[in-house]
Structures are given as C-alpha cells and as structure tokens.
Structure 1
Amino acid sequence: MCRIAFRLAVVFLVLGVPLATAARDVYVAKQGDDSNAGTRDKPLASVGKAVEVMRGAGPGTIWIEPGEYYLEQGLVFDAQHAGTADQPLVLRGVQPGQVRLTGSRPVSGLRPITSAEAQSLISPEARQQVLVADLPAQGFPPLRPLPDKHRDHGQEEIVFADRPMQSARWPNEGFVEFDKVIDSGASGVTHWVSREVYRPGSFQFPGERAKQWDFRRGVWLHGFWCYEWSDEVLKAASYDPASGELRLAAKHAYGVGSPRRNDSKHPFYALHVFEELDQPGEYYLDRQNNRLYFWPPGDVAQTPVHLTLCRQPLLRADGAAYLTIRDLTFENGCDAGLVLRNCRHCRVENCLVRNLGRNGISLSGSHLAAVRCEVTQVGSSGISLYGGDRKTLTPGEGAIEHCHMHHVGRLNWEGGRCAILGGCGNRLAHNLFHHGPTGAVAYGGNEHVLELNEVHSMCLHYADVGVFYTGRDWASQGNVVRWNYIHDVPVKGGSGSQAVYLDDCDSGETVVGNIVYRCGNRGVLLGGGRDNAFRGNVFIDQPIGIHVDARGPRGIVFDRADSWNLLAKCEALDYLSPLWKARYPRLATTMQNNPVMPLGNLMHHNVLIGCKTPFDLRKGVDPNWIDRADNVERELTDHPELFDKSTPPKLVLSKLPAVWKNVAGFEPIPIDRIGPRPVAQ
C-alpha cells in the first residue's frame, strides 16, 4: 500500500499537481448503494450522498450514470464545495441527456371516477374519462393549500409525458372579460399608475357559468384586474348567483377596474375549478381530501403520471466556487431548477431544465455562466443573472450564451421573461428566445452587452411591454443592445408591444444594428429618456419605427415616496463621484439641464422599410432635441427580394446586406453569427 501511495505521489509531482488538490471521481448509479465507496465498480445510490462526500474534498467529478433520481429536498452545495481554476468541482451525467434529476414521484393506482364523484362535472364525457388517485394510500404527503393571491404558487402540479398538465379551467382557451366593476377597492391614481388599495374588490361576473361551480371547494381567477401589464391569480371569496357579484378574497396591487375608464374590459379565466375538468390534459387536485382527478391525454399504463413534490430548488449553491454542472436534466419541481447565490467561477452547461413551478436557473455572484442550456415549461423566468457591482462599476463578467429558452412564464406572466440581467458588466449572447407571455429580456444596471440573439413569438399576453425591456433608472447607463434579430411578435392593444422599450425615462443606452421585422406596435419606444443612441438599426413592416415621448413632466417628481425616485437611485450609486463622472459625464449634468425632458438622444443611419410612421414624436417633444441624421425611409414595394413566398412572408436575412451597403455610414450587421452557434469541433 505504501508503495502504491508513493507511486501516485510521484505521478502527481511529475504532472505538477499538488497532492492536496488531486481531483477525485465519485460515481452514482441506480444499482448503487450509499454505503459503497463511490467508485466506478461500487457506486453510490443517491446524488445527495455524492454531494455530501465531496463537501470539503476539493476538486473532483461526480459522475452520474443514466437514470431518474428523485430529489426530495434538492441538492445543496456551499462554500465547502470548491474546485480550482485548473480543476473545478464537476457534477455531470455520464451520458448527456440520459440523467434526470427530478422533484416528482409517479402516481399509481388510478381508478375510474365514480358516478357520485363525477356528478358535478359539467362535461358528460369527462364523467367517463376522468381517473382518480387517492394519494395518502400511496404514501404521498398532504397536499399544500394554494395561496389566496399568487402568480407562481410553488405547490404541487401534475406532469405527464414530460409536460406540465393544466389545472381545470374555464374557458379552456383564451379569456372572458368583465366590464362592470361593483367595488374597485381602491382610490383614484395617486401618482402615474399607483393607487391606494383599501380592500379586495368585486365585479359583475359575465354570464351564468359560475352558477355551476362549488365555491366551497375554492375557485381562483387569473386575470388583468386593472392594467394590461399586471396579471395576478386571486381567490374568489364569494359569488352571489342572484346578482352575479363576485367578490375577491385578496387585494390586487392596483385595485379592480381601470381608474381612468368606467367601460374598460378586463380579461380573466377561472382556474382550479373541479366542475371544469372537461378535456384531456386537465386535472384537479383536491387539496382538502388529498385526491387527484385527471383526464389523461394518453395511456397511463404506458406513460407515468408524476406529482411534483420538491418545494426547494432542485439544486442550490451558496458561496460555492469553481463548480461546473453539466449534461443533466433538472425537471418536475414545485420551485426553481438551479439557484446559485454568492458564487464565483461557476458554470451550468448543456443542461435541460423543464417543468418547474418557478424559475429555471438563477445565478448571482461573479464569473458565472449558463451555456448551451435549454429551459422550457417553467412557471416564471428562464435564466436570471446578477453579477458585478454598480457603485464601483466592477464587471460581473457573467454570461448567458448559446441557450434556448422557450415556453416560459406558464404561471407568472409578469415574471415570465426568458432572460433577466442585472448588476454590472455581464453578457447575453447567441441565444434563441420564443413563446412567452411578456417580453423576452428584462435588464437593468450598467455596462451589459446584449447581442446576437434571435427572438420571436413573445408578448403573447401582455401589452405595454418590450421584447428587450429596461426602465425607470437614469443611472442604468452604458448598456449595449446590438445585432439582435427580433421578429414575429403580435400587435397588442393599449400601449402595445415593442422590440426595444426604454421605459419611464431610462437613459444612456446604445441600441445598434438590430433587425426588427413585424414586431408588435413599435420598433423602439423611447419613454422620455435622455442621452440614448440608436444607430444602424433596420425596421421592416412596423406600424411605428421609433416612438419618442416626453412623459417626464408628468412622471418625474423628486419629493414623493411613490415617485420613480430617479435622482435618489443616482445618488445611491454616488453618481457624482470621479469614477462615475468620468464614465458618464452627461449623467453628471442632468439636474442642471432640464432633467424632465428627453434631451441628448441620437438617431443615425437607421433603415426604415415599410414603417407606416417611421418616427413618431409625441406631444411635447421638440424635434430639435433629437439628433437625427442619415436615416433612410423606404416602402416595402421597394424591396420585394427581402421576403419569401410563405404566408405571412418570412424575411430573408441574406438579402439585407445589399440594402445597407448603399446607406452611408451604416455598419454591417453580422447576421451569420445571430443565434446559438454549433459546438466548435
């Protein structure tokens, strides 16, 4: 034994590897045992045990053999889990795509619903198709109650054939609308859009459908109660069949109904309603009696029914360093997929994250990256990244790259962005985003680069929203949004949807070289901000190319707690320090130069083809405030070669260079680099 140890020591010294940091391999397999040594021949049985073994052990790799591994409480890494720059600590699958870390357990013993149980179901066919499982008999813990007020509720759901199923709702698609508010429960507008909310409100329920529901079981309503950009799920407190008044059990942040129009229509649908279990793929969890009612869209003898159970993130790390997570599937949890807080030099790579009740991946710290991951069917956002220090302008050097995020925001529409970026000095690049209720990207902070992403089919529910959105921060300076292809986003009512939205006086942004085609209502909505630059963008077939308004005089106040606090945000970052004055000299003089007006904006070398209103300068905007030069306006008929023969026509990107080569000063857009790139061979 001593001779073997001596030989290993010689090998490590020859290779230049210190003995104290020699990497260790630990193996996990379905046929393993947690009393084993964790070697390839004698693997452990649980991933949690392997994580425990590697705590304080330094660099190494946890190899997980193919199979499904149940995580009852999720995996936990801390500051004692750390590799080195040369030898990280790695958690990975032996075969990419074949290791599933799940927060759910299969439900068995499903039986046909009895006639007594089915009596109140509205659909006659459902009474023949719905199956029932008594969960306590299978050892499941009691189901948790749903909150009276929520977006992503964080409680149990049903997953079948690798997709979350739909809790019974009415109508099955789309919305119904109410337009008669009985009690708003709120004051008028106190500032901009804010209201003082006194109590839960009530409204006249449209039609007779609610008379068939048993409100004692619990009925929830998901809707836009006041504004087109703020949804919420609220429990019904009571319903009067005689008058049709439905009173809510919880207050919405802005009250019920529009404070400006008495005849406004507000879309909603009913949710978690037993009587509305009426089509394949719907279920109802009886949380009082711990019973599942499910109309499966397939054969349950061939495809298991899963109940999500884990209420913690499937993986969480706090203070870890040089940790790499790769080649794994994280799925079927009530909460988030992966949450890394206060971490350094960590990566999540080539992972599939799906079917979660809350966020997909959340990263905070420095030098963090999510690379080549797919995130889908999550309750809220896809990937969020916060890193760096704004006050010192220290970059986080984090990245979200080559990822595919789609069908996000199942439950939380407000938070349902594909990507969220905050802090200072991070990068969002080469990603594909599509199918979400609101915009694709929300960002704030300083010195971020958002480039070479493709986005389509976003803003499906929200209005007054941007595909790339930031707002209400004078100090959010130095960000660059460039070389993105944004297309095929629906036109919305109200304040609409836009490709790039600089909301409520956001300032100091650079928007350059983006291609915007058939994207909602506007290519750019500049909402009263200052010192922004828009150069070399291409806007095609837009109702409005670039919108500029002067909302500052109505929205900016400096002495109210419910204001936008634009100056206070700057002061909190010491914006008059030598560092900030050198980096952002125009910001330093804002208060001396008519601060409420949209001054200092530049718009050069933009190409606007088929835009009904190329530049929409709203009331109060002096055209002399905007530096506009060398912009080109053309008709769609001038460039038929740009479109294929499909319906609606697709934009042929390869034809665009022939257009911009004739525009003086136009910087070519690297269209061949947009979107996720193949792995380098």
Structure 2
Amino acid sequence: MRPLSVIVPLLLMVACSRGLGAEAHVYVASGANTGGNGSRAQPFVTLHEAREAIAAARKADRVTGKVTVHVANGVYPLDTSFALGSDDSGTAESPIEYRSVEPGGAHLRGGITLQPSGFQAVSDAAVLERLDPAVRRHVRVYDLSEAMPESIPDFKVAFRGKPRGPWLYVDGQPMTLARWPNRDAAEGGWAGFTKALDTGLPDPGSDDPAKRKAHPGSFEFKDPRPARWNLDKGVWLQGYWTHDWSDEVIRVASYDADRHAITLAAPHNYGIMGGTWGAAKRRFFALNSLDELDAAGEWYLDRSGKRLYFYPPAALDNASIVLATVTDPLLKLSSVQHVTFSGFAIEYGHGNGVQVKESQHVQIVDCVVANLGGSGMSVNGSQNRIQGCELYNLGTSGLSLSGGDRKSLTPANNQAINNHIHHYGFFQRTYAPGIGVSGCGQVVRNNCIHDAPHNAILYGGNEHLFERNEIYRVVMETGDSGAFYTGRDWTSQGNVLRHNYIHDLGGGDASHVNTMGVYLDDCDSGDTIEGNVFYRAGRAIMIGGGRDNRVLNNLVIDCPIGLHMDARGMTWKQWNNPESAGWNLEGKAEAMLYRQPPWSERYPNLAGIMNDSPREPLHNPIRRNLFVDCTKQVCSFDGNVKKMLDKLPLADNVAVNTRGRADVVVAKDIPGFTTITGSDEKPVDIGFDAAAKRQYQLREGSRLQQQLPGFEAMPLDQIGLLRK
C-alpha cells in the first residue's frame, strides 16, 4: 500500500483545482508503468491501487464530490476477489463510480491465460492407447505444472452444481469435459435406463444392515460402453435419477459386464428410480473420462499429472484460451454504499461473478458477466440496481435479489432492469434460475431470459413486481417446473406478475404436459397474474392448491392446457405437517405473525384462513382471460375443484377454437366461460395476426373485442429488452 502522503495530494489537487466538492478522477491502465499516481498521465496499474487511493483520500477528508475511476481497455487478472468494504463506500453527495473507458473494454478475469503454442501433439503411448484411433492426431496436451504449481483436487464423489475447477474456455465459450454420449448424439446427448437393480433407498426389512439406510444404488444398463471406461481414474455420471427436477453427479463405483449393472459410489437423495412424476425412463451422461475424448471441443484434465488434453474445435494459432481457476466471487462488495460499476466484462472465474452483500445504492450497469462456474450476480441489501447487463455461459444461476424485511413488509426495492440473461444452468441443471428473488419488495422489469434447462424466474417472499419480461426456451430438459416458479407457502403473498411474454417453452411430452408458464406450486397463495401473454407455453397457468391468486386479463395461445387448478391441500396429508419437509403451512404463517398488523391488514383472507376451510383452494378469481386453440383442456380441474366451482369467482372468460379444429378443445360446462368456434371457411376473428409477429392486441371491432369489452390492452411494445 502506497503511503498516504503520496496518495492524498493527487486527489486533493484534482478536487481543489475545480473547487471543493467538485468531481475527482482517477485513472487505471493495465499496461501502464508501475509506480503511477493515478493521474491521466501516470495511471495506476490495478484497481486495488485505485481503491486504496480513494479510501485514503476520503479518510483524510480531502474529497467530497463524485469520484470516477476511469479504467482503460485491457485485462485485469484476479487471483482472488476485488473486494470493497464499508471504508470503500461513497455517499449520496459523493458517490464512487468505477467505469470502463469503453463498454466491455476492461476485463476482470479470474483465470489463467494459456498460450496456444503450449499445446503439443500427444506422444505418451499409454494415453494414445486410451484415445479413439480416429482422433489421436487431433488431440493436444498442455503441461500445467508451471501454471498451476499447487495440487489439483479431484471431484467429490457426489455433488450438485459446479465441479471442482478448473474449467477450460476457448474464444469466449466453455469447452465440454470429455463425455458420453456426445452432446449432439441421439436423445439429446443422454443415455437412458428403465430398470433399477437397487434403488439405494433404505430397506428396513433387509438382512444387510448397510441396506437399512440410504446406500449407493445400481441400475441395469445393457449398452456395453462402460466397459471401456477406466473407473480407477474416475468416471462420473450426471443424471436425473428419479425426478426430472433433481439432477446430481455421482461417481461410478463399478461396472459388471455380465449383469449389465452400473453401481454408483454414493446414494442419491431420492434413490434410483425411487418413484417419479413424468417419464419412467431415467437418463444420465458420463463425464470426465479420457476414453471419451472423441469430439471437437472436448477436454480432459489428468489432475495428478497436471496434463490438460484437448481436442480443439479449430486451429488454436490465434485463439484466446483461458483456464478458469478463481473460486471466490470476482467482484465482492460487503456493506458498501453509493458505488457503481459500469461497462466491465467480469469473466472466467470458477465461482460467482459479482456478490453484493448488505449494501445499499450499489449499481452494476452495462456489464457483461460471463463464463463462470457459479452464478452471475447475487445482490442483497436495499436500493441496489442491476441494469443493462448481459449474463451468459453460467454454471448455475443468472442473478438473485434479496433484502427487505418480510415480517414488517418493508420493501428492499432492489431492481433488475433490462438485463439479457441466457445460457445458464450449465452445471446445476435444476433450481438455478435466470433470476432468483426472495425477501420483500424486489422489482424485476424488462429482462429477457432464455435458453436454460429449468426455471427462468424462481421466487418467494412478498410484494415483488415482475413486469414486462420476455421468457422463452427455458425448462428445456426438465419437468414439473415452470418459467415462473414459486411454491409451498401461504405467506408468499402480494407478488404481481404483469405484462410478461412467455413463449416457446421446452420440456413435457405428448402424453403428459409437465411444463408450465406460471407455476404456483403446493398451495402457494396470494399472487396476481395479470395481462400476460402465453404462447406455446405448456400448461400456461397452474394453481397447485393455493388460494387468493388472481388470474386476470391474460391471453393464452396454442397451449395444450390453458389453466390448471387442483385441491391438493384437501388430499395431501402433509399440507400442515411440521415433519414433512417444506410444508407446515400454518407454522410458516405463524412465524410471520400473520394475524397481527401489518399482515392482518395487508392480507385479511390469510389472517382468517384457519376458520375458512384452509385446505380448499378458495378466493381464486379467474376473470377476463382469453384462451385460444388449447389442444388438451382449456381448464384442467381435479375432482374436488369440479365439485366446488360454485365457490370460485369465475367470470367473463372466453375459449376460442378459431377454425373448428378437431384437436382443439372448448370449455364445456364451466361457469364463467364462453366458447366461440369458427371454421376453415369462417375462422373466428381473433383480432390479431401471426403470433410470431407478436401482434396480440384485440383488433378494434373484432368479435373478441366485442365479446370481451373489458379486456385491457397490453403494452406489447414495452415488453422485453428496451433499446438503450
């Protein structure tokens, strides 16, 4: 750390030259000479120097105006977090901004750059023997002994989420750890099985004491491929072992070729084929096997020998090659106020990108956060804002917002606005959302989220606003999930999902629609779903036994099921059982003091729930919704809901079969629904044109506009990313 006497005069000089309280400017350039003073002519080399200079000047009370740190284009390597604490804060009158001189020009990088010339042809006979003869001349090896002098630990026996690092990236894209089946193989790169030999679940009646508790399971796999794997070196399987919403990576313990049996080295929480909702066939792929390094873009690391083997997808002569190694958050702000980071590329770490904790008025603006083993950003505190950022190639989730106080219903007002979040969930395939929200009073607006195996937005808590977001190509390989997902809580009240466009979701199959646009799971209550467009979105809206959920003015097009509502609280005995994981609905409400203000005033129906048939899905108004060309059911109601339709506020809904197609259903015998059927000769004028053009407004004077005069126009031109 440079002496205070050297640092303070610089900032004092800048401030005083323009009058006390004027802006101060500090300059950083990665290619500058060491020993600079932070001026334009003699910039600092690192952000750490700039941080120390600002903190020292503020401590000396020499700068009272805004401080801007101008960071020149270049790479700023990190071997641990660039961390700011309370001493590095600004104030409302004197904020601090770290700004990349050009958007995306300053790179905060948490990895080791590998030189293309370091990759050599493989000459080790034992290694060549394990490679497919067709690829031996393509595979290259890099000696990491000098770049990574410390030992490289192996993967854990079983894990969810990111594996132990490092991870290889070439030209801005993550490479694939050698695997089978390859990603472009049939069945989407998955192998399947249908018979468990041992689920691994506890068997109280077993003569073997080891099997009376959870133990590693086994399954029949008739493909002989595992016979070629060197299990002593370690091969892991990533699989959906029982549920399509629970993935886990588990090492292979053994393979019995005579019995066609694979035995795993650790138990899975739900067992192997321990009972599932969805497809009976289970799936997995093998990873981390040198024997399977047979496709361009695949790599393998001999961790003990520190040899990196790689099958380049193209010539490496001018390639950018980075090995992500840093597991700490690349940018870490704790108890910080009034600090902005603008225009940075935050990349190539094997942990999280940005962590903001217990902070206020922090802004991350116009940054690229990419190529990380963990999540993009996590923001905790109040009055923080993530805006205009792009987040992609992430091992787990995109970003998360938390803060506020639920018990007092005090909002945090953290905001995620106009962010582009895509290609995430690379390692953790489930419950790693594009945006995760908790606490009280967060705002999620004008984001575009797409291309992920599971949720787009996963939320819980109170008084959150989700509006004008576009979501597509999510829930692409999982089931029993939704683009929006929340669940199992009476107290998650006051959340508004308004004017979102949810379309072209994945998952599901022809016989079982298990992908949802909005999924209020397991008695979740108190949300408003209003003015949204659902196009090819599976079960567009699902209310899983909850109450006080308002479904108003939504447009549902080409979805197999328009609306689902069930009464699982009436049939599932665990609804209020403290011993059932995640349930105990009344206990959760008691923890919020729900019968006292402000809860009793804000949520009066909840306050009186225990005296109002608490197990029934009451007070769910379904009004002014338009369902167009549903192919399975307009409304999917279970038996108990059908018996209580007279208790439900259903009104002014319209179901349309535009051309009288035989494969389109109508809403028969459902109160509050009107059916309109057209024909090829005279199709129903639905008032809008091709869905691909996003022209969803009801045309003035159209039949549907007359049928639904109270249907409110949606701000379609304001949904999704806004131009800067």
State the alpha-carbon separation in 1 of the partners of residues 125 and 225 from structure 2. 22
Counterpart mapping for 1:277-676 below 5 A? 277-493=293-509, 496-520=514-538, 522-553=539-570, 554=572, 555-562=574-581, 564-612=583-631, 613-621=633-641, 622-637=644-659, 638-639=684-685, 642-644=688-690, 650-653=692-695, 655-658=697-700, 661-662=705-706, 663-676=708-721
State the alpha-carbon separation in 2 of the partners of residues 163 and 567 from structure 1. 47
Counterpart mapping for 1:183-202 below 5 A? 183-187=198-202, 198-202=214-218
Residues 162 and 82 of structure 1, relative CA distance in 2, 3 Å threshold: same
- In terms of mean alpha carbon deviation, does 108-117 or 384-393 score higher? 108-117
State the alpha-carbon separation in 1 of the partners of residues 269 and 295 from structure 2. 33
Equivalenced residue count is 661
TM-aligned CA deviation for residue 560 of structure 1: 2.1
- For the aligned residue pairs, the C-alpha RMSD in angstroms reads 2.4
- In terms of mean alpha carbon deviation, does 143-152 or 293-302 score higher? 143-152
Residues 120 and 589 of structure 1, relative CA distance in 2, 3 Å threshold: farther
Match of 1:159 among 149, 152, 169: 169
Residues 544 and 63 of structure 1, relative CA distance in 2, 3 Å threshold: same
- The answer as to whether partners of 1:196 and 1:254 remain within 8 angstroms in 2 is no
TM-score, normalising length: structure 1: 0.93
State the alpha-carbon separation in 1 of the partners of residues 252 and 579 from structure 2. 34
Q: Could you say which residue in structure 2 is the equivalent of 1:181?
A: 196
- In terms of mean alpha carbon deviation, does 401-410 or 253-262 score higher? 253-262
- The answer as to whether partners of 2:202 and 2:215 remain within 8 angstroms in 1 is no
State the alpha-carbon separation in 2 of the partners of residues 200 and 444 from structure 1. 34
What residue identity is the alignment partner of 2:650? R
TM-aligned CA deviation for residue 414 of structure 1: 1.3
User: The residue matched to 2:361 in structure 1 has which SS?
Assistant: strand
Match of 2:72 among 61, 65, 76: 65
- The answer as to whether partners of 1:598 and 1:625 remain within 8 angstroms in 2 is no
TM-score, normalising length: structure 2: 0.87
- The answer as to whether partners of 2:12 and 2:57 remain within 8 angstroms in 1 is no
- In terms of mean alpha carbon deviation, does 262-271 or 76-85 score higher? 262-271
TM-aligned CA deviation for residue 559 of structure 1: 4.0
Q: Could you say which residue in structure 2 is the equivalent of 1:79?
A: 86
State the alpha-carbon separation in 2 of the partners of residues 639 and 410 from structure 1. 43
Structure 2 gap segments, 5+ residues each: 1-7, 59-65, 184-188, 205-210, 660-683
TM-aligned CA deviation for residue 101 of structure 1: 1.0
- In terms of mean alpha carbon deviation, does 265-274 or 534-543 score higher? 265-274
- In terms of mean alpha carbon deviation, does 34-43 or 45-54 score higher? 45-54
State the alpha-carbon separation in 1 of the partners of residues 216 and 489 from structure 2. 32
Q: Can you list the C-alpha shifts for 1:208-253, whole angstroms capped at 9, x where unaligned?
A: 0000010011111011111111111111122223322222122222
Q: Could you say which residue in structure 2 is the equivalent of 1:192?
A: none
- The answer as to whether partners of 1:118 and 1:127 remain within 8 angstroms in 2 is no
State the alpha-carbon separation in 1 of the partners of residues 124 and 214 from structure 2. 44
- The answer as to whether partners of 2:84 and 2:332 remain within 8 angstroms in 1 is yes
Q: Can you list the C-alpha shifts for 1:415-456, whole angstroms capped at 9, x where unaligned?
A: 331111111111100111110010210011100110001111
What is the aligned-residue identity percentage?
35
- The answer as to whether partners of 2:453 and 2:476 remain within 8 angstroms in 1 is yes
- The answer as to whether partners of 1:34 and 1:46 remain within 8 angstroms in 2 is no
Q: Can you list the C-alpha shifts for 1:142-170, whole angstroms capped at 9, x where unaligned?
A: 32321222222252100001001000110
What residue identity is the alignment partner of 1:505? C
Match of 1:129 among 129, 132, 138: 138
State the alpha-carbon separation in 1 of the partners of residues 277 and 409 from structure 2. 44
State the alpha-carbon separation in 2 of the partners of residues 590 and 333 from structure 1. 48
Greater percentage in strand: 1
Q: Can you list the C-alpha shifts for 1:472-525, whole angstroms capped at 9, x where unaligned?
A: 1100000000100111112514561010000000001000000000112x1111
Matched, 1:172 2:182: yes
Residues 603 and 214 of structure 1, relative CA distance in 2, 3 Å threshold: same
- In terms of mean alpha carbon deviation, does 634-643 or 412-421 score higher? 634-643
Q: Can you list the C-alpha shifts for 1:46-100, whole angstroms capped at 9, x where unaligned?
A: 2233233333544522221101111111201111111111332111201112111
What residue identity is the alignment partner of 1:610? D
TM-aligned CA deviation for residue 274 of structure 1: 1.0
- In terms of mean alpha carbon deviation, does 331-340 or 493-502 score higher? 493-502
- The answer as to whether partners of 1:236 and 1:246 remain within 8 angstroms in 2 is yes
- The answer as to whether partners of 2:697 and 2:714 remain within 8 angstroms in 1 is no
- The answer as to whether partners of 2:336 and 2:358 remain within 8 angstroms in 1 is yes
Q: Could you say which residue in structure 1 is the equivalent of 2:221?
A: 205
- The answer as to whether partners of 2:82 and 2:330 remain within 8 angstroms in 1 is yes
State the alpha-carbon separation in 1 of the partners of residues 518 and 212 from structure 2. 31
What residue identity is the alignment partner of 1:147? K
- The answer as to whether partners of 2:405 and 2:439 remain within 8 angstroms in 1 is yes
What residue identity is the alignment partner of 2:634? P
State the alpha-carbon separation in 2 of the partners of residues 122 and 381 from structure 1. 34
Residues 351 and 7 of structure 1, relative CA distance in 2, 3 Å threshold: closer
